[in-house]
Structure 1
Amino acid sequence: MGTGIVANAVVTLPRSSRLLRTAATVVWLGAALLLVLLAVGYLRQRTLRSHAGDPVTAQFFGAPPMALLTVGSGALLLGRPLIGTETALGVAWVLWSLGTALGLVTACTVPYLMVTRHRFTPDAAFGGWLMPVVPPMVSAATGALLVPHAPAGQSRLALLLGCYAMLGLGMVAALLVLAMIYGRLVHHEAPTGAVVPTVWIGVGALGQSVTALGALAAVAPSALPAPYARGTEVFALLGGVVVWGFTMLWAALATGLTVRTTRAGLPFAPTWWAFIFPVGACVTATSALAARTGSEMFDWLAVAFYGLLVIAWVVVTGHSLRHAARHLLPDPAGNMS
């Protein structure tokens, strides 16, 4: 999902170019290939039950639905020149439906397991707790792309209202979890090591809500009566700016913790990918506000955030490839590392 948002965010930028869009299409194709390979590899391991029983690993069940949703939306945003409009639309519907179903299951099941089976110490809360509840917000934002393609009338209205309901589900749940994470940060020792990047997931949850508000307001007139459609535009602007402000506060906190930990030594771990999607959500959220307000400040901030996103993605991808080569390729003696 991190690689996918690097591609999709290009389409939302207020300032872009044909070369950048072409590069984004290549990145989207890479994300689609990675999705297939990783999904097949994970299913072949047959570790679903054991991961569900682990109170930490279970939190990351939210990642596959978001990956499906991100790649599916990329089919509409970037894939049409390559695979045709009808095929792109079909891929987007299938991946959105599958990702939404899995995301809703995750958003309900993982909190249930946390309440009934998992046991936690008072300082257990971490950014990963947001992962199960964020997918419905991603469904809301990506579902907005499909609203104009749904049959006019009740079907289109149901899709729009369903997306708003999923936005509410994910956003309220995320705010509850953020409160628990903040309480853990204040009342216990600051996180260290590989846990620190997960603090950035809060940025992604908040940024995704702003993105969804803007995307749904843009398509609401095709399904809602005029007064209510106008209300969604007001909600997207005022609510979006307010939540964006809180997003920047959480980003400042996450940045401070990251810098503090980096000085002491921040070892590479798969949690480094928690840097990518949140920064991408900042790009799409800021771009949505730029488009709605006409503010040059948001224009340039969106471009700046995208520059940071690309740098972070290159760094994390490079470390990931070296990590994979070190652990998967045989050493000169013929042994696996």
Structure 2
Amino acid sequence: MGTGIVSILLHNLPYNGIWLYWISVVIFALNVVLFVTGCVISALRYILYPEVFGVMITHSVQSMFIGTFPMGLTTIINMICFVCVPVWGEWVPYFAWGLWIFDAAVSVLTAVSLPFLLMAHGGETHLSSMTAVWLLPIVTCVVGASSGAIVAEVLPNTQYALWTILVSYILWGIGVPLALMVMVIYLQRLTLHKLPPKAVIVSMFLPLGPLGQGGYGAMKLGQCAQAIFPQTHTLEQASGPMFYTIGFLVALILWSFGLVWLFFASASIARSRTFPFNIGWWGFTFPLGVFASSTCQLGSELPSRFFDVLGTILSLCVVGLWIMVSIGTLKGVVSGKLFLAPCLADLRVPEDDKNKDGGKAA
């Protein structure tokens, strides 16, 4: 997700150049390699050790990270639309559309099933143990909605584009309200139980994800509706411009709300001063990245340089954070100290059970 959003930001940077375009293409290729590698490793993990999947899917924290799979795929889909469609021919939009349909289905399944498992499985969940990772499975629908708008823009068939837009609005309607409800609970948790531990303090940036991507998706869907609705005779003649205007208004409100969470997160980091490096540091990149995307999109809609300049600054900050976290990750991979699977603590090893039975018999 973090690598993918960096490639998108560099490709869509307001103040751009051909050299930045090629850097974005290289990072896009790296993102594809990372995504495929991660999928293969995960598949092998659950094929070779099927019992691990059961404890992972019922773990209150680690199961939430399943949402990173469809969100990581959307960054690839978006770059296919930006980079490959203009070069590789007419089959590429339909290939991207197929990937998006699969991604949308997985996103909905993730967004509704994982919160339900959290409600239905195991014992009581305490408010003090809640983290912002609860947002991860829900944001998949928000990210899928904005990706649907990008795919709809490149589809040659207007009827297919119309259905993609409508489904994307449904995804947006599932993800954004649910994410806002979770953010209310998270704000209550922060108020009653104070800031999270330093090890997970970076998760304070996660609420920027649904707000930034929700605003970006609202604007892109409004653009598509303005172009596609008249061509397909959908609703009234003025419906497209109305969707576009409302989308911009909603995006501006969500962006403004994002400023509040950006302050909370930045103030939390400043108060913590030092905190240990872990894989959670990737939480810096994607939420800030989608907030930067929303800022850049606001700049493209308005005759004002403010959002262009601010979007460029935020985008470059995300690139810098991505470089820093990538270096730390490589060091952690080499040392072998980076990766941790908390759910394995709940795994019952057959040998241990035999030892316990033997002890009881003795």
Which residue number in structure 2 is paired with residue 171 of structure 1?
176
Task: Kindly indicate whether residue 245 of structure 2 is the aligned counterpart of residue 234 of structure 1.
Answer: yes
Task: Kindly indicate whether residue 271 of structure 2 is the aligned counterpart of residue 260 of structure 1.
Answer: yes
**What is the TM-score when the length of structure 2 is the normalising length?**
0.86
Contact 2:226/2:243 (CA < 8 Å) preserved in 1?
no
Change (3 A) 1:328 1:94: farther
Deviation at 1:233, TM superposition (A): 1.6
Q: Which moved more, 1:26-35 or 1:237-246?
A: 237-246
**Residue deviations 1:110-131 (CA, integer Å, cap 9, x gap):** 0110111143112122110000
Change (3 A) 1:2 1:161: same
Contact 1:221/1:229 (CA < 8 Å) preserved in 2?
yes
Contact 1:2/1:273 (CA < 8 Å) preserved in 2?
yes
Which residue number in structure 1 is paired with residue 201 of structure 2?
196
Between the aligned partners of 1:240 and 1:62, the Cα distance in structure 2 is 23
**Residue deviations 1:152-211 (CA, integer Å, cap 9, x gap):** 23x432221111111111100110010011000000131122211111110111000011
Change (3 A) 1:185 1:67: same
Report the aligned-residue RMSD: 1.7
Contact 2:206/2:283 (CA < 8 Å) preserved in 1?
yes
Task: Kindly indicate whether residue 149 of structure 2 is the aligned counterpart of residue 140 of structure 1.
Answer: no
Deviation at 1:11, TM superposition (A): 3.0
Opposite residue 265 of structure 2, the aligned amino acid is A
Which residue number in structure 1 is paired with residue 213 of structure 2?
208
Structure 2 counterpart SS, 1:132:
helix
- In the TM superposition, 1:149-168 aligns within 5 A as 149=155, 151-153=157-159, 155-168=160-173
Task: Kindly indicate whether residue 99 of structure 2 is the aligned counterpart of residue 95 of structure 1.
Answer: yes
Which residue number in structure 2 is paired with residue 31 of structure 1?
31
Which residue number in structure 1 is paired with residue 67 of structure 2?
62
Q: Which moved more, 1:206-215 or 1:120-129?
A: 120-129
Task: Kindly indicate whether residue 290 of structure 2 is the aligned counterpart of residue 286 of structure 1.
Answer: no
Opposite residue 283 of structure 2, the aligned amino acid is A
Between the aligned partners of 1:257 and 1:122, the Cα distance in structure 2 is 19
Contact 2:64/2:137 (CA < 8 Å) preserved in 1?
yes
Deviation at 1:151, TM superposition (A): 2.6
Deviation at 1:86, TM superposition (A): 3.7
**Identical columns (%):** 26
Unaligned runs of 5+ in 1: 330-337
Structure 1 counterpart SS, 2:247:
helix
**Residue deviations 1:84-103 (CA, integer Å, cap 9, x gap):** 13454344223312221111
Contact 1:194/1:272 (CA < 8 Å) preserved in 2?
no
Opposite residue 292 of structure 1, the aligned amino acid is E
Between the aligned partners of 1:64 and 1:9, the Cα distance in structure 2 is 20
Contact 2:150/2:220 (CA < 8 Å) preserved in 1?
yes
Contact 2:299/2:305 (CA < 8 Å) preserved in 1?
yes
Between the aligned partners of 1:243 and 1:267, the Cα distance in structure 2 is 31
Choose the corresponding residue for 1:295, options 294, 297, 304: 304
Contact 1:75/1:91 (CA < 8 Å) preserved in 2?
no
Contact 2:11/2:20 (CA < 8 Å) preserved in 1?
no
Contact 1:25/1:79 (CA < 8 Å) preserved in 2?
no
Between the aligned partners of 2:228 and 2:315, the Cα distance in structure 1 is 32
Which residue number in structure 2 is paired with residue 9 of structure 1?
9
Which residue number in structure 2 is paired with residue 324 of structure 1?
333
Task: Kindly indicate whether residue 114 of structure 2 is the aligned counterpart of residue 110 of structure 1.
Answer: yes
Q: Which moved more, 1:10-19 or 1:129-138?
A: 10-19
Unaligned runs of 5+ in 2: 47-51, 231-236, 339-362
**Count of residues in Structure 1 that have an aligned counterpart in Structure 2:** 325
**Residue deviations 1:50-81 (CA, integer Å, cap 9, x gap):** 21011111111110010111111111112346
Which residue number in structure 2 is paired with residue 246 of structure 1?
257
Task: Kindly indicate whether residue 21 of structure 2 is the aligned counterpart of residue 21 of structure 1.
Answer: yes
Between the aligned partners of 1:85 and 1:316, the Cα distance in structure 2 is 36
Between the aligned partners of 1:171 and 1:2, the Cα distance in structure 2 is 21
Q: Which moved more, 1:31-40 or 1:196-205?
A: 196-205
